[in-house]
Structure 1
């Protein structure tokens, strides 16, 4: 994903973290680029020491990168002369398609099929890492939105358990609209949340038709329109601004004022809420975004990171060994528990079951999705015709008409030649 979607961006800079234990002169070096705050220094130290102990012929050179400007840095590294760039790179899951172009990433399909348990990977991490059924990005960790709610306000309204279906969610939210409280704060342009409702209905933001006929926007399909209608109904149960997204104003600040019963956000946002209003300590809970039926949670946008190996690596064997170790059950589980992430495999969800917010994320991540897997999707987000479409519908415009206009714009952007 683009990390700014779910986690805070850090200031621009570069920190080198070369080998953390003494090395013999005969060791070969595997250089890794990992992103700031993806893993704690203590975790990286433990991993490095264990990996180098098990691979006596290799040493790790871990270099921490900033998300700001990382795209151009990675592109330059992939185009560098053989052996001159990093051997393993952490990239946002939705960024993988733009790096696959030009045969610049190592095809890890065989390794992932035979050794790495790809059938159990979270789909929102695995699918963006694929191109024409070949696996280039290996899932590492995930994060996604859940419902953060006020336990005390739910109890006061007589709601004993969180809703499990979308219809129950609407009913509960309407009940929570009492005593001057908002049942939910949902900004009008929270398009990631809308995407989940659209996926739940069997629709998508865009597709390529499966026949090579080119990408097209699909907000105007019946399924996508049903997803937008659910968003409209939920939005109407609060006072979220129709013309703004969840960062304008930051919804954590709105929630912290104490008059909102629910928001849709990553669980980590709860820390910010409590920092701004300590009276809410111990009063916040989490549940997965409800699905159409109680059989499964709703679909959600899955953000997170994949690991890729550049084709120009000078240490292919060592790079593959590092990816295998970091994304394997032992270290992936430890990272998830250390950093409050969702592990890369559905069967590992039980490892974070004792953390309420992370457990809610893991339940949703099992049905998570990512944005359309095309290198041009970044240009769609930069222009983002989805946001004004949502605003117009919420202000009373005809949904079908506005969806056609937005879909046409998405199609134009996805098929630009520049």
Structure 2
């Protein structure tokens, strides 16, 4: 979802109507909105700008599209700037909200969330990272998550008539697919986002907060069960044990024609077909299976939230923009335009006609995000979970390695202790 060359694009009323004011027209207040590159198409932004300004006669939108590279420092600087020239609404990655909420730099949007914006229907993987205690700072906008991308022809050749619904069915089917030179699944040894879902399904977590302190939790029985399932699944293919899904890029491996399944966002299918046109029409999608057929597995949910800086010039106007962008009408249109998962479980039907997005939406209903602490970025900077996974897959004692990795996570989450 991070594409296109560096550019600062302003989407204003001038794109949808002639510049200038009519005689006797009162000047509009300008609301400056920072959105990230490729989160929304230019066509969507034009339509939203026109619709919003038509229903908010006193407001004018100045939407500025930002690059992801260097955005953390840029947002932090804007949150500290009291000149009145900063953004009034900012799109941030859902797991970035704790970074910006720390220090009281974001507006508390709890009241609007509960009263006006349908907080109880939001996707948990977007809503939970947007909270700090009982206060809601990040408002869910859109989501994307991993599904299983599979070869329909290889499933048919193996006599598998429908995608698996449970983990045990998944293992059985993957074993049947792991024949004749084909890999039943290509799963890199360090795909820790996929592992996270299995841990959450077991009732575990990557880290837990106790007595106001965060501690690594890979050594709990639940987390160890998640790792054991990952080990079993990974063994049914030839994914590298000491690398993640980007080394080498798994789209290229899948395009090689000898892989039956990968765990990835549906959009990766486009790259696969570009690299191997013979696979056009042969790819399908299903949600990551759960422990039982009653519900899909838990998955890591990526995506974006919208936040309002505490130093906004007009919080009322800013919240009007947030409410419109995240409301049912425009959130549904964004999801259909960009193949995203809408921000609410009640809007999943809006993308039911697109197989890959529908599979994402089914998983997103049970999605999660990384631990909600600003220090989690320090864990990912030199991620001990990856090395832990490799050592376990290579045969090391899981409990011992989990304790070691959990201790590293605890140190990273409390560097001043």
Match of 2:58 in 1: 57
User: Match for residue 380 of structure 2?
Assistant: 381
CA contact (8 A) 2:207 2:371 kept: yes
Task: Give me the whole-angstrom Cα distance separating, in 1, the residues matched to 2:3 and 2:54.
Answer: 34
Secondary structure at 2:65 match in 1: strand
SS of aligned partner of 1:30: strand
Per-residue deviation, residues 276-317 of structure 1 (Å, max 9, x unmatched): 000000000000000000000000000000000001000211
1:9 and 1:208, CA in 2 relative to 1: closer, same or farther beyond 3 A?
Answer: farther
Distance in 1, matches of 2:339 and 2:345, equals 15
- Indicate if the aligned counterparts of 1:9 and 1:68 stay in contact, CA closer than 8 A: no
**Deviation of 1:102 (Å):** 1.3
Shift of 1:23: 5.7
Match of 1:4 in 2: none
Corresponding residue number in structure 1 for 2:96: 95
Structure 2 SS opposite 1:215: strand
Do the aligned partners of 1:139 and 1:305 also contact (CA within 8 Å) in 2? yes
Residues 11/415 of structure 1: CA separation in 2 closer, same or farther (3 Å cut):
farther
1:215 pairs with 2:214: yes
Contact 1:287 1:360 in 2 (8 A): yes
Q: Is the 8 A contact 1:129 1:135 kept in 2?
A: yes
Structure 1 gap segments, 5+ residues each = 1-6
What whole-Å deviation, never above 9, does each CA across 1:197-252 have from its counterpart, x for those lacking one? 0000000000112x32x100000000000000000000000000000000000000
Partner in structure 1 of residue 286 of structure 2: 287
Contact conserved, 1:83 with 1:315, CA < 8 A, in 2? no
Structure 1 residue 17 and structure 2 residue 11: aligned? Answer: yes
Identify the residue that residue 364 of structure 2 maps to in structure 1: 365
Match of 1:317 in 2: 316
Query: What is the aligned partner in structure 2 of residue 3 from structure 1?
Result: none
Structure-2 separation of matches of 1:260 and 1:169:
15
Task: List gaps (5 residues or longer) in structure 2.
Answer: none
> Per-residue CA shift, 1:122-180, capped at 9, x if unaligned?
00000000001100000000000000000000000000000000000000000001111
* Residue 343 of structure 1: aligned partner: 342
1:127-142 matches, cutoff 5 A: 127-142=128-143
Contact 1:88/1:319, CA 8 A, preserved across alignment: yes
Q: CA RMSD of the aligned region, Å?
A: 1.1
Take 1:315 and 1:82, find their aligned partners in 2: how far apart are those partners?
13
Q: What is the rounded CA distance, in whole Å, between the counterparts of 2:11 and 2:56 in structure 1?
A: 19
Q: 1:9 to 1:381 in 2, by over 3 A?
A: farther
Query: Match for residue 251 of structure 2?
Result: 252
Partner of 1:191: 192
Q: Secondary structure at the match of 1:263?
A: strand
Determine if contact 2:2/2:38 at 8 Å carries over to the other structure: no
Number of matched pairs: 410
Distance of 2:215 and 2:120 partners within structure 1: 29
What residue in structure 1 maps to residue 228 of structure 2? 229
Q: Please report how far the alpha carbon of residue 83 of structure 1 lies from its aligned counterpart in structure 2 after TM superposition.
A: 1.8
8 Å CA contact 2:11–2:45 kept in 1: the answer is no
CA distance in 2, matches of 1:339, 1:122: 18
Give secondary structure in 2 for the equivalent of 1:182.
Answer: coil
The Cα shift of 1:15 comes to 2.8
How far does residue 417 in structure 1 lie from its aligned partner after superposition?
2.7
Measure the CA separation in 2 of the matches of 1:127 and 1:253: 34
State the partner residue of 2:42: 41
2-structure distance, mates of 1:265, 1:51:
35
Structure 2 Cα separation of the partners of residues 52 and 338 of structure 1 = 21
- 3-state secondary structure, aligned to 2:239: coil
Please state how far the C-alpha of 1:17 moved relative to its aligned partner. Answer: 2.9
CA gap of 1:8–1:249, structure 2 versus 1, over 3 A, is farther
> How many Å separate the matches in 2 of 1:103 and 1:9?
32
Deviation at residue 18 of structure 1 after TM alignment: 3.3
- 3-state SS of paired residue (1:307): strand
SS in 1 for 2:38: coil
Residue 402 of structure 1 aligns to a residue whose secondary structure is helix
Name the counterpart of 1:114: 115
TM, length-normalised to structure 1: 0.97
**Distance apart, 1:8 and its partner CA:** 4.0
User: In the alignment, is the contact (CA less than 8 A) between 1:18 and 1:63 conserved in 2?
Assistant: no
Preserved CA contact (<8 Å) 2:11 2:49: no
Question: For each residue in 1:356-387, what CA deviation from the matched residue of structure 2 results, as whole angstroms up to 9, or x when unmatched?
Answer: 00000000000000000000001100010000
